Amino acid sequence: MKKFFSLVLALAMALSMASFASAEETTTIHIGVIGPMTGAAAVYGLAVARGAEIAVEEINAAGKVNIVLDVQDDENDAEKSINAYNATLDKGTQVILGCVTTTPCIAVSAQAYDERVFMLTPSASSLEVIANKDNMYQICFTDPAQGSASAEYIFNKKVGEKVAIVSNRPQTTRNRIMGVATDKDWQIVFLDTPGLHKPRTRLGEYMVKSVQDAMDGIDVLLVLVDANEIGAQDRAIVEEMSGRKVKKILVLNKTDIVEEARLMAAIQSFAEAGYDAIVPVSARTGKGMDELKKLIVSYLPEGPKYFPDDMMTDQPERLICAELIREKALQHLRDEVPHGIGVEMMGMEKMNDNFMEINATIYCERDAHKGIIIGKHGAMLQTIGSEAREDIEKLLGLHVNLKLWVKVRPDWRNRASDLRTLGYDAK
């Protein structure tokens, strides 16, 4: 759905080029689609191509505009993507939809920038794709966001319960979250932290500090990288973390969609990075996860159990419930709205053994954002509440009546009192 939306938007932007045509005149627009149509990454390229075809069929059927697609196979190879780019331009292409994957997209966008050709990628996620290029547009979650989401997924999977929220938005995690996994012979205490970023608000400063604080006293450090899309920022973080004086494991995720040769090349490229082990995994299929767990256990020092066997996290239920509400907002809201959202739990009252009433307020920073959160006839707020309620019921083991309100609190991310109210200690 995300890819298809991107395609429709790309085509809509292309349509604007024909806005000066007369009502009687049919304008032809040539769009080149560049991506892997064969090979291990073909699932991405074929999805983009088919989505474009569906959108074009609908647009052309309406008349006035005739869009011609030229689909080029780059086989997820940078050199072949350049050849595909030149080939489609020779056919009269005016707009490039692609490339679909990051490495080819970086290569093509550099040439397209010099030649001032408009490009839009629905799925190339590295920040390098659009860096210093005013003709290149990116409509997808970025590598830092994917890394955070993957880490949170693995974190939840190893703990055995959902104690950290997951989304494809950057900076989803705002607090240090502890998860506990216990077996007969070991206990692992996981710390999930916010992602590293340059803070722009007091909330951002708090998040970065929580990362730094979490580094104190750890025994093992896991650094997670998307093996399918390894960008410059990924390598910078890998290098930065390599200096930590603890056991370090570099985890390469998404191996289920990476060709064996590319995976081996990625592993080799990090061979001298200073990590104690490099472990390829797939969070989606579970491949490599048991091996990762065994390796973590082997690196742990001997000592007593710090927590009861049935303890999963140190997070109070109140905070987890607030985070589950925020997760659904992150998943459904667009643009900059999610970043300015905070959730305050107003009340949690157990009415009987099987039923709890929960009241919560979603805070945002602008009046316009309030309307977006509520949605037409309250539809968006209802969706957020309904999905959050389902997860909260699973967490608590109770039926829940969840009531949500939306209030505007301008610039709350920069006010210490507001941060404390919403659970972020800004000291």
Between 15 and 381, residue with greater pLDDT: 381
Q: Is the pLDDT of residue 160 over 60?
A: no
Verify that 159 and 261 share a domain, yes or no.
yes
Last residue of a domain, one of 116, 140, 164: 140
Mapped onto helix, strand or coil, the DSSP state of residue 177 is strand
Number of domains in the chain: 3
Q: Is the pLDDT of residue 409 over 90?
A: yes
Classify residue 362: in a domain, yes or no.
yes
Last residue of a domain, one of 80, 109, 140: 140
Does a cis peptide bond (omega within 30 degrees of 0) precede residue 99?
yes
Q: Which tokens is 222 given?
A: 């896991």
Q: What is the pLDDT of residue 299?
A: 92
Q: What is the pLDDT of residue 340?
A: 87
Model confidence at 317, pLDDT cuts 50, 70, 90, reads: confident
Q: Is the pLDDT of residue 276 over 90?
A: yes
Q: pLDDT digit string (tens) for 225-236?
A: 888 888 887 888
Model confidence at 162, pLDDT cuts 50, 70, 90, reads: low
Last residue of a domain, one of 114, 140, 166: 140
Q: Is the pLDDT of residue 384 over 90?
A: yes
Model confidence at 69, pLDDT cuts 50, 70, 90, reads: very high
Q: Summarize the confidence of residues 285-314 as an average pLDDT.
A: 86
Q: What is the pLDDT of residue 17?
A: 43
Q: pLDDT digit string (tens) for 85-133?
A: 999 999 999 899 989 888 899 889 989 999 999 999 988 877 788 888 8
Q: Which amino acid is at 152?
A: E
State which of 186-200, 326-340, 402-416 shows the largest mean pLDDT.
402-416
Classify residue 426: in a domain, yes or no.
no
Q: Is the pLDDT of residue 142 over 80?
A: no
Q: What is the pLDDT of residue 25?
A: 67
What's the mean pLDDT when you consider all of the chain? 83
Verify that 95 and 209 share a domain, yes or no.
no
Cα separation values, 231 from 141, 223, 237, Å: 14, 14, 10
Verify that 268 and 348 share a domain, yes or no.
no
Classify residue 8: in a domain, yes or no.
yes
Verify that 232 and 358 share a domain, yes or no.
no
Q: pLDDT digit string (tens) for 296-307?
A: 999 988 888 888
Q: pLDDT digit string (tens) for 342-380?
A: 999 999 999 998 999 999 999 999 999 999 999 999 999
Q: pLDDT digit string (tens) for 172-218?
A: 667 777 788 888 888 888 877 766 667 788 887 877 777 777 777 78
Verify that 293 and 148 share a domain, yes or no.
yes
Cα separation values, 342 from 244, 272, 304, 339, Å: 33, 42, 38, 9
Model confidence at 248, pLDDT cuts 50, 70, 90, reads: very high
pTM of the model: 0.53
Q: Residue 268 maps to which CATH number?
A: 3.40.50.300
Q: Residue 358 maps to which CATH number?
A: 3.30.300.20
State which of 65-69, 152-156, 334-338 shows the largest mean pLDDT.
65-69
Q: Is the pLDDT of residue 426 over 60?
A: no
Percent of the chain with pLDDT over 70: 84
Rounded Cα gap, residues 247 and 59, in angstroms: 56
Residues spanned by the domain of 294 = 144-299
How open is the CA angle 380-381-386, to the nearest 5 degrees? 100
Sorted by sequence, the CB contacts under 8 Å of residue 156 that are 6+ apart come out as 162, 163, 164, 166, 179
Classify residue 308: in a domain, yes or no.
no
Region of 48 (left: φ > 0; alpha: ψ -120 to 50; beta: rest) is alpha
Q: Summarize the confidence of residues 167-175 as an average pLDDT.
A: 63
